[in-house]
Structure 1
Amino acid sequence: MQPAQGIVEQSHLAFQSLKLVLETAGASLADVVELTTFHTHLQADMAAFAQVKDVYFPARYPSWTAVGISQLALEPLRVEIRAVAVAGCGDA
């Protein structure tokens, strides 16, 4: 599978994948209490990534930490998302 090239496309794919994993586990994005994102181009991508994140998390929560790293396991990827969710704690 060839990942999308731009940070906006990769960010949407990452959040859509997170949403699918949560739904499979009986949870939702509303149940996410902590978000950690890893970026290979932190400064260059942060504004665009934050705009995409706000689509999936319109409120100013969950807790979010962004970490700049030199590379991810798959070379073309620019972002990876780690989330902690508590099933049933969200509003939706």
Structure 2
Amino acid sequence: MKRTVAAPEFAHYPEAWHLSPVLDTGDFVFLSGQTGWRPDDTVASDPEEQFRDVFEFLKANLAAAGLSFADVVEMTSYHIELKKHLPAFVKVKDEYVSAPYPAWSAIGVSEFISDGTLVEVRVIARR
């Protein structure tokens, strides 16, 4: 079983980007990398606000699959200027993710497709 799921604000992604915002495979649910790029094509210039947008978008897509951050088993985050923004990212992450914590890898990268984007986060959740 494989089923594409998306929160309403991301419903156009499968057609526009040829990807599943959420791919539900039954036991495991995979969320494509989520950035702070908003549905109105803007991105917050304040890092903390942008990181909060990322987690709100992840939360919306998890909810569309009937899940929450409590179901997340793995998280990978990709960062522009990782060391500079990591304290703000961790602060926001900790508002959404609690113990028992998922496995997490943070990786520094040089660029994203969207200008102004500082982070992209993908998660795997388990039912």
TM-score, with length taken from structure 2: 0.66
1:55, 1:29 → 2: CA distance? 11
1:60 deviates by 5.7
Cα displacement (A) at 1:79: 0.6
Q: Quote how far apart the aligned CAs of 1:41 are.
A: 1.1
Per-residue Cα deviation, 1:18-63 (whole angstroms, up to 9, x for no partner): 0000100111111000000010110100011001101101326111
Mapped partners of 1:33, 1:68: distance in 2: 21
Q: What's the counterpart of residue 90 of structure 1?
A: none
How many residue pairs end up in the alignment? Answer: 87
Residue of structure 1 equivalent to 2:85: 45
Tell me: CA distance 1:49–1:60, structure 2 relative to 1, closer, same or farther (3 Å).
Answer: farther
* Cα drift, residue 7 of structure 1: 1.3
Question: Bigger radius of gyration, 1 or 2?
Answer: 2
5+ unaligned residues in a row in structure 1: which ranges?
88-92
Q: Secondary structure at the match of 1:82?
A: strand
Structure 1 residue ranges, 4+ long, deviating more than 3 angstroms after superposition: none
Q: Which has the higher contact order (CA 8 A, sep 6+)?
A: 1
Relative to its length, the structure with more strand (as a share) is 2
Who is 1:36 aligned against? 76
Q: Is 1:32–1:62's contact at 8 Å kept on the other side of the alignment?
A: yes
Range 56-65 or range 28-37, more displaced: 56-65
Indicate if the aligned counterparts of 1:39 and 1:78 stay in contact, CA closer than 8 A: yes
1:66 is aligned to 106
The residue number in structure 1 matching 2:94 is 54
Higher helix share: 1
TM-score, normalising length from structure 1? 0.90
SS of structure 1 residue aligned to 2:89: helix
